[in-house]
Structure 1
Amino acid sequence: MGVELEPVQALDLWRKAIVESVRRDGPDLSARQMALLLTVYLTPPPHTVRGLAESMNVSKPAITRALDRLGQMELLRRKVDDSDRRSVLVQRTVKGSVYLREFGEIIVQSAVDLGEKK
């Protein structure tokens, strides 16, 4: 299933999804926080701070700051790796799963609305 969008249409789709998310009074995530959340949920675990920093090509302190905020919102959680106590695993949460499922539904609806405009 391929969808052809012009760059301005893709931006409008993203804008509509973000606006709808804000209207629903959901968490207000930065681009870095959203990228981190999507990476943890859409790529196979296990996830570590070091591994996430490498895969996203950002510093470990930047990942740690984003994780602090996402942890406060209960969208992700950190857990000490039982097999290597020096390592911290980043884990999914039910709240994070629900948030991303609903955000995905918003994107789908925004795409449908955009298609109806054509």
Structure 2
Amino acid sequence: MSVELSPSQALGLWHRVALGQVRHDHRDLTLRQMAILLEIYLVPPPHTVRGLAATLGVTKAVITRALDTMGAMGLVTRERDAIDRRNVVIKRTVDGALYLEKLGDLVIDQGRKLNM
């Protein structure tokens, strides 16, 4: 099913989803953190700090700071790569999966309201 949205409809959907997130979840992710989280959950693993930095076009320090915050929220964990100890592998968590599942439900719900 393909839905054509005008730019203002697309922004309106994004606006309603953002409002829903703010109202119903205490975690306050930045756009960069959300992009990292979606990359980790939607693109098959493994994910490393180096790989995420390359994908997002930012430094490893930027990724590390974002992961520090998301780790404190329970959305991801990090482990040293057993084969190459220089690499840090990012792991998904149950809380992170539930967070994104609820976000997906919110997007669907708000998208349906848009088509009424």
Per the TM superposition, whether the score is higher than 0.5 is yes
Match of 1:99 in 2: 99
Match of 1:81 in 2: 81
CA–CA distance in structure 2, aligned partners of residues 99 and 40 of structure 1: 13
Aligned partner of residue 115 in structure 2, secondary structure? helix
Deviation at 1:59, TM superposition (A): 1.1
Deviation at 1:85, TM superposition (A): 1.3
Aligned partner of residue 91 in structure 2, secondary structure? strand
Match of 2:41 in 1: 41
Match of 1:51 in 2: 51
Say whether residues 1:71 and 2:82 are aligned partners.
no
CA–CA distance in structure 2, aligned partners of residues 11 and 26 of structure 1: 23
Deviation at 1:83, TM superposition (A): 1.1
TM-score with structure 1 length normalisation? 0.96
Match of 2:113 in 1: 113
Output one character per residue of 1:50-105: Cα deviation in whole Å (capped at 9) or x when no partner: 00000111111111110000000010110111111111100100000000000000
The amino acid of 1:2's aligned partner reads S
CA–CA distance in structure 1, aligned partners of residues 10 and 39 of structure 2: 20
Percent identity (aligned): 50
The amino acid of 1:85's aligned partner reads R
Aligned partner of residue 45 in structure 1, secondary structure? coil
- For structure 2, list consecutive stretches of 5 or more residues without a partner in the other structure: none
Equivalent pairs counted in the alignment come to 116
